[in-house]
Amino acid sequence: MNRFLLITAAGAFETRLRQAVAAGFSGAVQVLPPEVLNGSPTAVLPADPAELPEVLFLGPGLETARALEFAKVLDLKHPEISLVLVADSSHELVLAAMQAGIRDIISPAAEDGELHRLLERACLAAASRRRGLAIAAEPLDSPARVIAVMSPKGGVGKTTVATNLAIGLGKVAPQNVVIVDLDLQFGDVGTGLMLEPEHTITDAVYGSAVQDSMVLKTFLTPHPAGIYALCAPRTPAHADRVTAEHVSRLIRQLTLEFKYIVVDTAPGLGEHCLATLEQATDGVWVCGMDVPSIRGLRSGFNILNELGLMPQGRHVVLNFADRRSGLSVQDIEATIGVPVDVVVPRSRTVPFSTNRGIPLLQDNTRDSATKGLRHLVQRFDPDRISDMQKKLHRRVVVS
């Protein structure tokens, strides 16, 4: 099997690549001339899917524009192959390569150690995407649930609730949960899950991922707990590149690949939030035990009812609950006009968990807050829903 495919006329780089592969990797290297770029990208690959290469190197010595166009088509057809461009990098080239589906760029004069590390990275990425695509090919046994985690006010622990909900659902449906960070300017899902994403939502709504939901999955960041994450842009300036239309299309794509889509929205009711609510099956409303947060939630409910955008599934989470706050659950319910479904007590373990980047439900910490978060997860667990319905909106108590 030719595990590595190289398209180039540069004999020096071919020799170095063969030496690097022989030094620590199984499989052979196949070399093709630059002329193959003039034909169909799929024509250079074997017909048998089991014989497809894991890594395809483009260059050096190729016309950049032609190589990127070749890569774009090939990435759409075979996203499981790691595409590597061999060229001297620049900011403009990196952006164009990313949009074409190139996974990595390496200089022709790179040191042997750097070439070896790139091979390791490319092989691991190819294996991960093949596993993901295999799982994606399995049909879902029920319609996807789009869960919008929302709050009219900031600072109520919305992202903490969203990340723990995603981790908890990952135990219910392993590899079938994705969390999307729609707080596009200052999202903290990546930090809360201790992730360093290779791609962000800005990458996922442009280029090859837009055309194919399976390709989109390769832009997600896997988490050790068996879920996927699509993190916010790296800088607030990039947030303007993501429109409400992008959000709508993205969620539709994700419903084809996942059973649960948890969307951590920005505070308030901006256009991205409303676009999410148009497709949400459930809304998880998070409020703190303070008057501004509670009044904001009441106003949010009134606006969404007027707009007809209230999701069918409603789940109200009272976070940072503390009976010393001067308010009771009954006071809150009377103000917002609906029952409180889940209470998450104030706990010193929550900020500690957030700072570590390990959600409480991942660490299995025994704590009153953990109990409340598990209760929220159970509201979406098919095996527990019948039991939960018997207790639906039963009076909750702040301890």
d(CA 80, CA 167): 26
The answer to whether 239 and 155 are in contact (CB under 8 A) is no
| Predicted local distance difference test score (pLDDT) of residue 125 | 82
Q: Report the domain count for the chain.
A: 2
Q: Determine, yes or no, domain membership for 395.
A: no
The answer to whether 277 and 182 are in contact (CB under 8 A) is no
pLDDT band at 359 (very low <50, low <70, confident <90, very high): very high
pLDDT tens-digit profile of 79-97?
889 999 999 989 889 989 9
Which of 87, 109, 136 is at the close of a domain?
136
Percentage of residues in the chain with pLDDT exceeding 70?
A: 93
Q: Determine, yes or no, domain membership for 166.
A: yes
DSSP state of 264: E
Res. 291: pLDDT tops 70: yes
Distance of CA 377 to the CA centre of its chain: 19
pLDDT tens-digit profile of 224-282?
888 999 999 988 888 888 999 999 999 999 998 899 999 999 999 999 999 999 999 99
Which residues span the domain enclosing 204?
145-390
Q: Considering Cα of 249, then 254, then 256, then 260, what sign does the dihedral take?
A: negative
The answer to whether 198 and 230 are in contact (CB under 8 A) is no
Following CA atoms 65, 68, 72, 78 in sequence, which dihedral angle do they give, to the nearest 10 degrees? 140
pTM of the model: 0.65
The answer to whether 135 and 259 are in contact (CB under 8 A) is no
Task: Name the strand (E) or helix (H) holding 345.
Answer: strand 342-345
- Kindly report the CATH number assigned to the domain that includes residue 43: 3.40.50.2300
Residues 150 and 110 in one domain: no
Which of 109, 136, 163 is at the close of a domain?
136
Res. 297: pLDDT tops 70: yes
For the chain, the straight-line distance linking the first and the last C-alpha, in angstroms and rounded, comes to: 63
Q: Answer with the residue of higher pLDDT: 289 or 142.
A: 289
Mean pLDDT over the full length of the chain: 88
Res. 390: pLDDT tops 70: no
pLDDT band at 64 (very low <50, low <70, confident <90, very high): very high
pLDDT tens-digit profile of 201-229?
998 898 777 877 767 887 888 898 889 99
* Amino acid code (one letter) for 81: I
Between the alpha carbon of residue 215 and those of residues 11, 138, 207, 212, 230, the distances in Å are 33, 15, 10, 5, 13
| Predicted local distance difference test score (pLDDT) of residue 264 | 96
| Predicted local distance difference test score (pLDDT) of residue 398 | 59
Res. 315: pLDDT tops 70: yes
Q: Could you tell me which residues come within 8 angstroms of residue 38 by beta carbon, excluding any fewer than 6 positions away? A: none
Question: Residue for token digits 């319910």?
Answer: 333
- Kindly report the CATH number assigned to the domain that includes residue 189: 3.40.50.300
d(CA 156, CA 294): 11
Residues 257 and 214 in one domain: yes
Percentage of residues in the chain with pLDDT exceeding 90?
A: 59
| Predicted local distance difference test score (pLDDT) of residue 234 | 86
pLDDT band at 139 (very low <50, low <70, confident <90, very high): low
Res. 363: pLDDT tops 90: no
Tokens found for residue 366: 């025994």
